[in-house]
Amino acid sequence: MAHTFLYTIETPQHNIAVKFASPTKVTSEFLVTFLTAPHIEPFTIMLKNEKWQLPEEMPAEVQALEEELLKAARKFQR
């Protein structure tokens, strides 16, 4: 059974809707999709050694949201 979580990041310029999808009940990775920014390719965020990690190569606009994305992953961790 998969888990899907929706998350909103509010910035002074935008409200950004993000979908976190896990292929299993145990959430050790999420496919992250920016619903309000479809030009950003989906990417996988993974739990390694009890710490969530983003991919090394990230667009600059996503790097600015790194802390919010990691916070959301911890919130949805099961």
Q: In this predicted model, what pLDDT tens digit does every residue of 5-62 receive, in sequence order?
A: 999 998 888 889 999 999 888 889 999 999 998 899 999 999 999 999 999 888 888 8
Strands (E), the chain: 3-10, 15-22, 29-34, 43-48, 51-53
pLDDT of amino acid 60: 82
pTM, entire model = 0.88
Give backbone dihedrals phi and psi of 29, rounded to 5 degrees, phi first: -160, 150
**pLDDT score at 6:** 94
Task: Give the number of other Cβ atoms within 10 Å of residue 52's Cβ.
Answer: 19
Instruction: Name the β-bridge partners of 1.
Output: none
